[in-house]
Amino acid sequence: MKKLVVQPVKSVKGAVTVPGDKSISHRSVMLGSLAYGTTQVENFLTSADCISTMNIFKAMGVHIKQKGTHLTIQGKGLNSLKPPAKTLDAGNSGTTSRIILGLLSGQPFATRLTGDKYLRRRPMKRVVGPLTQMGARISGPADASLLPLKIETRKLKGITYRLPVASAQVKSSLLLAGLFAVGDTTVIEPTPTRDHTERMFSAFGIPFKRKGDAIKIHGPIKPFKARKIKVPGDISSAAFFIVAGLITPNSKILLKNIGVNPTRTGILDVLKKMGGKITIYPKKTGKGEEPIADILVQSSRLKAITVNDENIIPRMIDEFPIFAVAATQAEGTTVVKKAEDLKVKESDRILMMAVTLKKMGAHIQPTQDGWVIKGKTSLNGCMVSSGGDHRIAMSLAVAALVAQGSTTILDTENINTSFPNFEKLLKQVAKR
Ligand code: S3P
């Protein structure tokens, strides 16, 4: 089992380029594979999760060449996927499994989809339910709520579906099913979630309509052409360095070319409200590209905050573990509410962050849908386990920078699912 040993630092300093965005990388392979022609992807995230997506499309006959972080995808059109020889494996990736279920439901061949032991515990009903309403036939354990799932051939029909949980994965899964379904597929999202699928639809020229909180696509859609995709740096990865810069003394850190799509920047808004010295320098981007910026962060005296607005939760859903670390270093009582979906991420993140940070000396209380965190506390280095969750592991590594003594984080193999060079970059900026 891999472990990560982190020593306290005096400061963090330097410029960091984090790898490409995970959500956008997944979608680039999915849509590039369905497009007609050669899609070039720049700055693809070569992490285990995105490689799982790539391998699934290769298994369905798509020619994808990877050279470093550059992908060349030879798409043969919407109806070109071939039956895979064996069960498709999404590894640890919830995004791969859920979004791909929509796409697989629309194929004229049967497939089986599985994942690793963590993913096999995560809820799939949120996509299986509405896909079944569209006519998909999906079977598997616990009434098809868990992987492995079997997806049989069925003709899909469009439906109108109001998302009961704010989830970009569910929205994207239904929109991808909608590409193949007959008639209108309308997804209503009461709370906005990341819109990378919609932006990529626009970039590829896939027609859809957005009206208020409803997104409508009329299927089956016409063939669409390949294009070039530039993947920005992942703000979810940058967040670890942003918080490291804020909570360690005498620090100044520049994060370069980070994706600042407003559906993802909740963490910046919240940290700024807490008094975080964060300056955003927007950069010019081409037509159809996601917005990017350089982000400058300096050590700050943070003050506590209450996060309980349902509109902000999806905008920082993956950043709650690192936000909890920031809250331990903020003056006052921080409260997080309405974030119950954290319980069904790669681990139960409410529980995991409470248990591990408590062990490090933080005053953190888990609740039904968030935490109560009292700061500012001095943390102590100790031995903690990430529970196999990449974002818990990296959050604890950042907490360890301001702890007394060294911290050993166990079970850190999964950092590779989203941020393969995390340890190297952390060492690069850590000044002792
Ligand atoms: C993602 C959506 C979010 C997020 C995940 C990536 C996506 O999940 O937590 O890491 O790429 O669509 P939910 O849709 O379950 O909130």
Q: Alpha-carbon distance 297 to 277, whole Å? A: 6
Q: Alpha-carbon distance 310 to 287, whole Å? A: 31
Q: What is the pTM of this model?
A: 0.98
Q: Alpha-carbon distance 17 to 261, whole Å? A: 17
Residue 154 has pLDDT above 90, yes or no: no
Domain ranges (residues) in the chain: 3-20+232-431, 22-226
Q: Are 294 and 258 within 8 A, CB to CB? A: yes
Q: Does ligand 1 come within 6 angstroms of the Cβ of 317?
A: yes
**For 98-123, what is each residue's pLDDT tens digit?**
999 999 999 999 999 999 999 999 99
- Which residue among 49, 318, 341, 411 is the active-site one? 318
Annotation says 318 is catalytic? yes
- Tell me the two tokens of residue 389: 């969750």
Look at ligand 1, atom 9, and give the residue with the nearest C-alpha: 318
Q: Using the atom order of ligand 1, give the atom closest to the CA of residue 318.
A: 9
Could you give the angle at the alpha carbon of 75 between the alpha carbons of 71 and 79, nearest 5°? 145
Expressed in angstroms and rounded, the spacing between residue 18 Cα and the centre of ligand 1 is 19
Look at domain 3-20+232-431 and name its CATH class: alpha beta
Residues above pLDDT 70, as percent of the chain: 100
**For 233-266, what is each residue's pLDDT tens digit?**
999 999 999 999 999 999 999 999 999 999 999 9
Q: How confident is the model at residue 348 (pLDDT cuts 50, 70, 90)?
A: very high
- Round the average pLDDT of the chain to a whole number and report it: 98
Q: What is the pLDDT of residue 379?
A: 98
Architecture of domain 22-226: Alpha-beta prism (3.65)
